[in-house]
Amino acid sequence: MQHHREISSSVAFERSVRHSILHWYKHHARHFFWREQHGKNPTPPDAYIVMVSEIMLQQTQTSRVQEKLPLFLATFPTLKALANADNATVIKAWEGMGYNSRALRLRDCAKAIVNNHKSVIPSSVEDLLALPGIGSYTASAIAAFAYHQDVTVLDVNIRRVYSRLLRPMPTTISIAEENEIQQFAERIYPRGNASCWHQAVMDIGALFCTARAPKCSACPLAVLCPSTGNMEEVKKSKRPEPSWNGIPNRIWRGRVVQILRELEDEAGITLAELYERLFQQQNNTEPLFINTDKHNSEGAWLLNLVQGLERDEIVEIQQQQGIEKVSWRDLSHCILRLYKG
């Protein structure tokens, strides 16, 4: 009898959660370019737009994607246009998005779809997972948002909302066990409405059920959520990342790529010229490339940075004949440009 009451209570709770979330979303959904329908007779949002937006959203704020996505699509209006683009063109179109390797993975994904799926983005999670650069979240998101498939979609916002609904979370960084989240996710979403449901939960996670300073009192789930007002505010410690002069290498990589984007022609610049431009940005001075311990240390770091970009096929280094890639001094006059592929 007790077990039956617990099941009934759980079913009633989940029903109330569904009603509250969908009712709120009906009146307060955020409007984004990738959620809209495009074309004369659209049904779900265009699968190509959804795929591009999901790759962009992985490590970029929604406001930036909202601004940049239409510009990217103006350059590559179709999947085939993107599939046929060289590396340099894709990287230039990705300006302002950061993490440039994502752009190349997206282009490679487009190539695979053109070559293996007759230019039609797959609708099943299994086929999507087989594409280069597509992980479990992105595959599920495309299936749900572009094709209205009944699948569970789990991103960081949804996991946080579900965790706090499952039971009282002691701190703002506490998360339920993954198997609990998976089971709850499978039970809670309404069949036939997976797209709206998951976008609604994402919106609640972004607007109210935030990682820091959650706005519990304003949340549409406040009266239902067992974590409301009970969580201790705790900041998640950040993992240290490779840096130079206190600035992460990923920021330096972005600065290098931006300098190359802004070149008026494709002739490229020497590594020594790149060095001067980078450290002019950093120090607001105009250092000369001279042979000192300080400059050689900075030069060796910069060489390692651009060689990483070269391995990722974002830039190419044109060596002088007969010179091996052994030191900064040897390579300072080699030419650097965006890699065309």
Domain count, the chain: 2
The two beta strands, 269-270 and 243-244, are unpaired
Same domain assignment for residues 45 and 181: yes
Same domain assignment for residues 269 and 209: no
Question: What confidence tens digit (pLDDT) does each residue in 44-76 have?
Answer: 579 999 999 999 999 899 999 999 999 999 999
Higher pLDDT, 296 or 269: 269
Q: Which of 183, 218, 253 is the last residue of a domain?
A: 218
Domain contains 178: yes
Provide the annotated active-site residues.
54
* Structural domain boundaries, residue 268: 243-338
Same domain assignment for residues 97 and 151: yes
Task: Assign 328 a pLDDT band (cuts: 50, 70, 90).
Answer: low
Question: What confidence tens digit (pLDDT) does each residue in 2-53 have?
Answer: 443 344 478 999 999 999 999 999 999 999 999 876 444 444 579 999 999 9
Same domain assignment for residues 163 and 274: no
Residue 84 has pLDDT above 90, yes or no: yes
Here the CATH number for the domain that contains residue 134 is: 1.10.340.30
Q: What is the pTM of this model?
A: 0.84
Whether 163 contacts 152, CB under 8 Å? no
Question: What per-residue confidence (pLDDT) applies to 141?
Answer: 97
* Dihedral of alpha carbons 142, 146, 151, 152, sign: positive
Whether 258 contacts 95, CB under 8 Å? yes
Same domain assignment for residues 44 and 138: yes
Token output for 5: 């009451």
Same domain assignment for residues 154 and 295: no
Same domain assignment for residues 49 and 146: yes
Long-range contacts of 319-327 (CB under 8 A, 24+ apart): 327/300, 327/303
For residue 101, count other CB atoms closer than 10 A to its CB.
15
Domain contains 226: no
**Which whole-number Å values give the CA distances from 206 to 178, 181, 201, in the listed order?**
20, 18, 9
